[in-house]
Structure 1
Amino acid sequence: MIRVTVSYAAREGARFDHAYYQNRHAALIREHLGAHGLRRLEIDQALSDAAGNPAPVVAAAHMLFDDVAAFQAAMAAGGQPLMADVANYTDIEPQILISQVHVAFEG
Structure 2
Amino acid sequence: MKFNLLVPFLLLIICSVAFGQEKRNTATVEKGLIKVSIMYPYAEGKTFNMEYYETRHMPMVAGFLGTNLVKYTIEKGLSSGIPNQPLPFMAIGTFYVKSLSDYQAAIAPNRDAIRADFPNYTNISPVILVSEVVK
Tell me which interval the TM-score lies in, with the shorter structure as reference length: 0.7 to 0.9
Identity in percent: 32
TM-score by length of 2: 0.68
Residue 87 of structure 1 aligns with which residue? 119
* 1:98 partner letter: V
Whether the aligned pair in 2 keeps the contact of 1:5 and 1:98 (CA below 8 Å) is yes
Residue 51 of structure 2 aligns with which residue? 19
Residue 76 of structure 2 aligns with which residue? 45
Q: Which runs of 5+ in 2 are unaligned?
A: 1-32
> In the aligned structure 2, how far is the partner of 1:37 from the partner of 1:77?
16
Q: 1:57 aligns with which of 89, 111, 120?
A: 89
Show structure 1 runs of 4+ deviating over 3 A: 51-54, 77-80
In the TM superposition, residue 54 of structure 1 has moved relative to its aligned partner by 3.5
> In the aligned structure 2, how far is the partner of 1:49 from the partner of 1:100?
25
The structure whose Rg is larger is 2
Whether the aligned pair in 1 keeps the contact of 2:48 and 2:123 (CA below 8 Å) is yes
Higher helix share: 2
1:27-59, Cα deviation, whole Å (9 max, x unpaired):
2122222x2522211011111122354420000
Mark the CA change 1:79 to 1:98 in structure 2 (over 3 Å): closer, same or farther. same
* 1:50 partner letter: G
Whether the aligned pair in 2 keeps the contact of 1:6 and 1:94 (CA below 8 Å) is yes
What SS is found at the alignment partner of 1:39?
A: strand
User: What does 1:20-35 correspond to in 2, within 5 Å?
Assistant: 20-33=52-65, 35=66
* More contact order relative to length (CA 8 Å, sep ≥ 6): 1
Equivalent pairs counted in the alignment come to 102
In the TM superposition, residue 77 of structure 1 has moved relative to its aligned partner by 4.2
Higher strand share: 1
